[in-house]
Amino acid sequence: MAVRAAVLPAVGAPLEITDIDLPDPGPGQVRVRLAAAGVCHSDLSLTNGTMRVPVPAVLGHEGAGTVVAVGEGVTHVAPGDGVVLNWAPSCGACHACTLGEVWLCANALGGVADVYARTADGTDLHPGLNVAAFAEETVVRAACALPAPAGIPLTDAALLGCAVLTGYGAVRHSAQVREGETVAVFGVGGVGLAALQAARIAGASKIIAVDVSPAKEELARAAGATDYVVASEDTPRAVRALTAKQGVDVAVECVGRAVTIRAAWESTRRGGRTTVVGIGGKDQQVTFNALEIFHWGRTLSGCVYGNTDPARDLPVLAEHVREGRLDLSSLVTERITLDGIPAAFDNMLAGKGGRALVVF
């Protein structure tokens, strides 16, 4: 069956919006009709080679939709069920999984080398980050289809698959923000907006949003920011000025650039915690000297997928949504079609907006 999809033919090449041939689901697979898919910076990182997967591929890893058909052996979802796509399903058997660190699963991206569909001329296609959500329909491994939370529109639930799990998890699980602490979030995109909401839910006393764009202040304050700093060479000084010259208890970096990681580190108080969520390239080198590491006593940590377990955290997030504490629709600054994805990438590079959402 032919469906329309956004295909990355090669690293560095422009996306091609075209029809692809999608097969019926095989054993252990689920076919999903997409309701919506978020445009994430990781998708952009795949197009430019910062992150690498086999190509040609259909991108998109944050989405939700309705089950159309299931293959043999699939029992946890059925046709007609709403599902949230999980781009990093854990295997449950590797070393990280046995430690309970499912976000570090060694086999989470094992499906990216699969051939899941073909172009009209018969060329093999791979499923981007496992789920190939930039398409009207997709076929995924059963573990990639999680039952959608009740009472939440699928167009909103799509955001749970990456932006919200990552931003919420960075604050809740990685940084472990406690009530009354001060927090700075660097980068007001989809993940950053989710992190700001998570800091508010955690009861942070001061929440400082930092971004290069003055135009994002309204978005940031709506998400929970109490203060806004336009990024510059003086960002750490500006953050310290808002915290009695101490620096914040927690800084969450959602950009993935050496300069913002360094700024987040310098904005953190002595003994505080800096969590890096953004995915940067190998050329982004961050340097520290031995004396400052000793003197400042800060903790610097990486964060993969928000250090979340989707099976555990999706119900928690859903309850926050239903109780009005977490506003998913406010993360979306643009609703587009598949054809709008290249422009959404351009906006992302220019630092504009929050989350662009492909609505089918």
* Neighbouring C-beta atoms of residue 253, cutoff 10 Å: 29
Residue-averaged pLDDT of the chain:
96
Residue 36: what pLDDT?
98
Per-residue pLDDT band for 273 (boundaries 50, 70, 90) equals: very high
- When pLDDT is averaged across residues 277-284 and rounded to a whole number, the result is 91
pLDDT, greater one: 197 or 281:
197
The CATH H-level superfamily of 2-161+327-359 is Medium-chain alcohol dehydrogenases, catalytic domain (3.90.180.10)
Phi, psi of 300 (to 5 degrees): -115, 125
* pLDDT 10s digits, 118-141: 999 999 999 999 999 999 999 999
Q: What is the DSSP string of 291-351?
A: HHHHHH--EEEE-SGGG--HHHHHHHHHHHHHTTS--SGGGEEEEE-GGGHHHHHHHHHTT
Residue found by looking up tokens 């953190």 in the block: 268
Residue 260 confidence (pLDDT) above 90: yes
Residue 93: what pLDDT?
97
Per-residue pLDDT band for 51 (boundaries 50, 70, 90) equals: confident
Per-residue pLDDT band for 117 (boundaries 50, 70, 90) equals: very high
- When pLDDT is averaged across residues 84-88 and rounded to a whole number, the result is 96
Q: 164-306, what's its fold?
A: Rossmann fold (3.40.50)
| Cβ(103)–Cβ(88) below 8 Å | yes
- When pLDDT is averaged across residues 165-181 and rounded to a whole number, the result is 97
Residue 354: what pLDDT?
85
> Residue 16 is inside which H or E element, if any?
strand 16-21
Query: For the chain, how many helices (H) and strands (E)?
Result: 11, 18
Residue 26 confidence (pLDDT) above 90: yes
- When pLDDT is averaged across residues 287-292 and rounded to a whole number, the result is 96
- When pLDDT is averaged across residues 66-82 and rounded to a whole number, the result is 98
Residue 150 confidence (pLDDT) above 90: yes
Residue 357 confidence (pLDDT) above 90: yes
Per-residue pLDDT band for 267 (boundaries 50, 70, 90) equals: very high
* pLDDT 10s digits, 299-348: 999 999 999 999 999 999 999 999 999 999 999 999 999 999 999 999 98
Residue 348: what pLDDT?
87
- Judged by average pLDDT, the poorest of 74-78, 89-93, 334-338, 347-351 is 347-351
H helical segments located in the chain: 41-48, 95-98, 154-157, 163-169, 190-202, 217-223, 235-241, 258-266, 290-296, 310-322, 341-349
Per-residue pLDDT band for 1 (boundaries 50, 70, 90) equals: confident
Residue 239: what pLDDT?
98
| Cβ(141)–Cβ(73) below 8 Å | no
- When pLDDT is averaged across residues 197-224 and rounded to a whole number, the result is 97
Parts of the chain belonging to CATH 3.90.180.10: 2-161+327-359
Parts of the chain belonging to CATH 3.40.50.720: 164-306
Per-residue pLDDT band for 353 (boundaries 50, 70, 90) equals: confident
